[in-house]
Structure 1
Amino acid sequence: MNSKNLIFERSEAFNIKSIIQVQNIVYLNVESRLKTAKCPNCQRKSGSIHSYYYRKIKDLPSFGKQVCINLLTRKFYCKNNNCEKKIFSQRFNEQFKPYSRMSERLAAILLKTGLLTGGNAGARLCKLHNVSVSASTILRNIHKAPIIKPETPQVLGIDDWAYKKRHRYGTVLVDMEKHKIIELLPDREAATIQKWLQDNPGVKIVSRDRFSNYANGVRNGSPEAIQVADRFHLLQNLSESLKKLLVRHYKTYKGIIKQKDEEKLDGNITVLAPADLPRQITPSYYNRQCQMDEIKSRHANGESIRSIASLMKISREKVTNFLRLQEPPIRLSPNQFSFTKYADLIKKSIIANPRITSSKIIIELKNSGYNGGKTAVYNFIKNCVRIKPNADQEELPRQLWSPNKASLLLSKPASLLNEIENKVVNALCKSVSDIERSCLLSRQFRRMIIKRKGERLNNWVNKALKSGVKEMISFANSLLSDFDAVKNAMLLEWSNGQVEGQINKLKTVKRQLYGKASFNLLKKMLTIQ
């Protein structure tokens, strides 16, 4: 087989004069065999040569060597007297674009590499394959690539994503049937969603979270589309309502947990709840107490919530929360680790060797499946295990039942809870009637979602409105404001779980770009396939 047939698909267009290797680079000296060329302006053929020049073009590597093509290119006179171009260069659009420093096949490979890995990672990957290219060149290739408008999906997923968390957000649109991102929008305003739907008619079902801008945008942009609320967010909203209820009754809740969370172990070690440890009054807790006292004093004197919020420079929601609480809101770390299932192991280790080091205890915990950090174990042993080193019986805190965790227990059926969790839930329900009614309602709501019993939603909302628990009443009112979408979530199969997965992909791509993730670049990397 002729070597030029391996290098160029149209071998009749080029002639390979020589091949030279200099260190790790192979130079191909190539000239065109075509005697005429078309003017790019008037498309008239010309064979009148003006001059010659060389184009230096990078090509795909071969046999572990970089390849560079020295292309001898002709310049021609245009024979059309009315044409603006008097002199033009010979074009090879199929192999080498005008002014390009790389072949079309190399540009296509770099585009795919950039879309998959980004600029910096793509440049490092190309270096492994003997392609010398910078990250900026790869990104410029992506910027030049055109975006093909996708077909309008019948089932559309909508969710927001963060340019910068809690500051700026955009919107991602996902084709739920094809499992791919089809569009990124620069904000999450209702008018933007409305305009996109009006420009792309034909959407039949829209899956979204409960953000009001999305609901209004879909309603105005595509009134005939069926809206489906996300089931995960519905359960999350329910959990938040239960958490507010537990915080409101925190004094009663804390006493119950302290009483029910004690558990004696055989031997010389006692495991107790964190409530048994002395509470430290931190400066932040003292400031919150003073702020709460001032708010209640002003409200008792007849000042409105709006005026109190304005004078104290806080939100009205915060003022309302302080007025309904009996003590300042607690601030618990969300990452408290439970040592419940490792308590026996710690107890046996200390009984067997009272002078055992914390490092050896950590090794034993790791061998038993513990995957937490060392600092948590050190603090656990330091603050709890060895409070009374000379006493016959030592006490260990067993578990932290924060309102955030307990709120999850209230909505789960009893069959999914262990013995201790059922005891905690039963104790809460017996002591506070609001918690008992809320627990029953939340379990019914969870069952409706899992069993897809949307026809029962109307009766459930009526029960919640008559329950007398203001947190459940507030949750029921929020369902009424988006009733059709919530009901569809319990009847149809579609949900926003797939969209959340696509947002994880978006975050991964954004991090790969190392701070160069402009909106247009991110859009092309996610929508060009």
Structure 2
Amino acid sequence: MHLTVRCEAAGANCPHCGAWSEAFHSSYERNLGDLPIAGRRAIIDLRVRRFRCYQPECPRKTFVEQAPIFAERYAHRTRRLRSLLEDIGLALGGRPGSRHCTRLAIPTSRTTLLRMVRALPERSISTPTVLGVDEFALRRGRRYGTILVDAEAHHIVDLLEDPSADALVEWLSNHPGAKVICRDRDGVYASAARRGAPDALQVADRWHLVHNLADALERFAVRVLAALRKELKAEEFTDGAPPPELPLPVAPGRLIARNAERHDEIHELMAHRLTVSAIARRVRLDRKTVRRFANAEVAADLLGPRGRRATALDAYLPYLARRWREGQHVAAFLFDEVRQQGYRGSKRTVRRQLTGWRVAEPPPPAHAMLPGPRTLAWLLLRRPSDLDEKEQILLKQLYERSPELVCARQLAQHFLRLVRERRGRELDDWVADVHSAGPPELRGFSRNLQHDWAAVHAGLTERWSSGCVEGNVNKVKVTKRQMFGRARFDLLRKRVLLAN
């Protein structure tokens, strides 16, 4: 759809000297893309005139009248279309944005959208009073950057490609004014905050404090569970009860009946002097299968002595049974072991063999019922009201065997109350309790807190945290994944900052 537009003024002002001129020189037509009308592509045919400038001091001899309400000089799109395409490029990126433009009847290539995003001017950066700092992955495990977030307004302030302390120090020096800096427990950002904003209050994030506590409890659980497992195994060994024999798998009755039916049918066809190929076509079986049925005098010969067909795994069954009694029940590990001994079958055969053993297996020994270190650490961290009956019984049984667990749980719950209720004034008392009666792992955790004591105390006292920073990191991840293949840092930074 084409719309013809022209200016009604009799003349125009010279862009160089500003003098008014009505001396007509020539005219031509500009074609400007515009927003679609009724689902159809719209083109504005703007007819512009060229005028003469007779001012002797003006170097311009001719000039073209402009229509700034429609488009900029030399532009091929109207202002409102360009604004819409810029918003689409910021929100969706290249390929998704191009597909969306096609549906809107304004076809635009992905490179055009990205070029328009890159051409957008950057906004001025104002330093927030409360600044959140964290790292984000440009390429996970290889390249990282630094994200800066306004912890009050919860929006991204800036992205730094360099995650080092020097880059953050330079940014803080160029943007003074931060009063509070929320960060994780990383020493890089702590050092940068001290150098770049020495007067700012540093606040350690509470989630990272709980995460450090969980790591200490997991190390504690590894040590305690190893001692408990050794103790329970010793008790089982003193009982002297022989391990139960594993039942041998029996072929299902349906397989026996099917083999007998096929055996009778094939031998009846052989009595009519049909060839193996003819019988295979008649019963729709492979010739090798027909030949195997033909060579068997009775159907029972098709199965092994244990009521099933002999397989390449039979020679390794004694080894598998011994490893099963020793407690190795993972099919992938057992497959690797027998493969090293020469087995050339598939992993599926081993897994199928172990399926029958799992069904007939007696209840596992007590040491096998112990939770893993991470599960036990999670049980110690959870609120007592959140534990179900089974978990409460398990903890009670563990308490009876290891009184050290009782002390560790009490200290962990006390620290969590300090975090939830922001009772930083009681942190000294908690550290004293840990050093007097706590396990070695929690004592190490408390010594680590003392290395960053001011920030930890502020984290348990002030209302600020890095929660909004982590949320904005997730937004950056979404934008980065939309731009897979074109996610250079300059484009990523432009999209994140302007989309905010």
Q: Normalising by structure 2, report the TM-score.
A: 0.70
Rounded to whole Å, the distance in 2 between the matches of 1:463 and 1:210 is 23
Rounded to whole Å, the distance in 1 between the matches of 2:43 and 2:370 is 67
Q: 1:248 to 1:82 in 2, by over 3 A?
A: farther
Rounded to whole Å, the distance in 1 between the matches of 2:364 and 2:47 is 83
Rounded to whole Å, the distance in 2 between the matches of 1:276 and 1:449 is 45
Secondary structure of 1:124 counterpart = helix
Rounded to whole Å, the distance in 2 between the matches of 1:429 and 1:80 is 99
Rounded to whole Å, the distance in 1 between the matches of 2:491 and 2:88 is 14
Whether 1:453 aligns to 2:423 is yes
After the TM superposition, which residues 328-407 of structure 1 pair with which residues of structure 2 at under 5 Å, given as runs?
386-387=356-357, 395=363, 401-407=371-377
Specify the alignment match of 1:122 in structure 2: 97
Specify the alignment match of 2:133 in structure 1: 158
Please give the per-residue CA displacement for 1:241-266, whole angstroms capped at 9, x wherever unaligned: 11122334453244578899xxxxxx
Are the counterparts in 2 of residues 209 and 233 from structure 1 also a CA contact under 8 Å?
Answer: yes
Rounded to whole Å, the distance in 2 between the matches of 1:168 and 1:384 is 44
After the TM superposition, which residues 28-67 of structure 1 pair with which residues of structure 2 at under 5 Å, given as runs?
28-67=3-42
Specify the alignment match of 1:514 in structure 2: 484
Rounded to whole Å, the distance in 2 between the matches of 1:112 and 1:40 is 31
RMSD: 3.5
The aligned length equals 397
Specify the alignment match of 1:94 in structure 2: 69
Are the counterparts in 1 of residues 411 and 438 from structure 2 also a CA contact under 8 Å?
Answer: no
After the TM superposition, which residues 213-232 of structure 1 pair with which residues of structure 2 at under 5 Å, given as runs?
213-232=188-207
Aligned partner (choices 445, 465, 474) of residue 504 of structure 1? 474
Rounded to whole Å, the distance in 1 between the matches of 2:167 and 2:443 is 32
C-alpha displacement of 1:112: 1.6
Specify the alignment match of 1:269 in structure 2: none
Are the counterparts in 1 of residues 151 and 466 from structure 2 also a CA contact under 8 Å?
Answer: no
Are the counterparts in 2 of residues 246 and 253 from structure 1 also a CA contact under 8 Å?
Answer: no
Specify the alignment match of 2:328 in structure 1: 278
Higher relative contact order (CA 8 A, sep 6+): 2
% identical aligned pairs:
33
Q: 1:388 to 1:171 in 2, by over 3 A?
A: closer
Specify the alignment match of 1:168 in structure 2: 143
Q: Which structure has the highest helix share of the two? A: 2
Aligned partner (choices 162, 176, 180) of residue 201 of structure 1? 176
Rounded to whole Å, the distance in 2 between the matches of 1:33 and 1:61 is 25
Rounded to whole Å, the distance in 1 between the matches of 2:196 and 2:52 is 56
Which of 1 and 2 has greater Rg? 2
Rounded to whole Å, the distance in 1 between the matches of 2:94 and 2:409 is 52
Rounded to whole Å, the distance in 1 between the matches of 2:188 and 2:396 is 40
Specify the alignment match of 2:462 in structure 1: 492
Q: 1:426 to 1:152 in 2, by over 3 A?
A: same
Specify the alignment match of 2:186 in structure 1: 211
Task: Give structure 2 stretches of 5+ with no counterpart.
Answer: 236-323, 338-347
Rounded to whole Å, the distance in 2 between the matches of 1:455 and 1:384 is 57
Are the counterparts in 1 of residues 408 and 438 from structure 2 also a CA contact under 8 Å?
Answer: no
Q: 1:394 to 1:191 in 2, by over 3 A?
A: same
Please give the per-residue CA displacement for 1:451-484, whole angstroms capped at 9, x wherever unaligned: 2221111222233344574422321122111112
Q: Quick check: 196-205 or 108-117, which moved more?
A: 196-205
Q: 1:234 to 1:52 in 2, by over 3 A?
A: same
Whether 1:183 aligns to 2:183 is no
C-alpha displacement of 1:184: 1.3
Are the counterparts in 2 of residues 384 and 395 from structure 1 also a CA contact under 8 Å?
Answer: no
Rounded to whole Å, the distance in 1 between the matches of 2:471 and 2:181 is 17
Secondary structure of 2:357 counterpart = coil
Are the counterparts in 2 of residues 254 and 275 from structure 1 also a CA contact under 8 Å?
Answer: no
Are the counterparts in 2 of residues 61 and 130 from structure 1 also a CA contact under 8 Å?
Answer: yes
Please give the per-residue CA displacement for 1:289-325, whole angstroms capped at 9, x wherever unaligned: xxxxxxxxxxxxxxxxxxxxxxxxxxxxxxxxxxxxx
Rounded to whole Å, the distance in 1 between the matches of 2:458 and 2:474 is 26
Are the counterparts in 2 of residues 386 and 394 from structure 1 also a CA contact under 8 Å?
Answer: no
C-alpha displacement of 1:71: 1.9
Are the counterparts in 1 of residues 203 and 465 from structure 2 also a CA contact under 8 Å?
Answer: yes
Rounded to whole Å, the distance in 1 between the matches of 2:431 and 2:4 is 80
C-alpha displacement of 1:514: 3.0
Rounded to whole Å, the distance in 2 between the matches of 1:436 and 1:402 is 17
Q: 1:275 to 1:152 in 2, by over 3 A?
A: farther
Aligned residue identity for 2:67 = F
Task: Give structure 1 stretches of 5+ with no counterpart.
Answer: 1-25, 261-273, 287-377
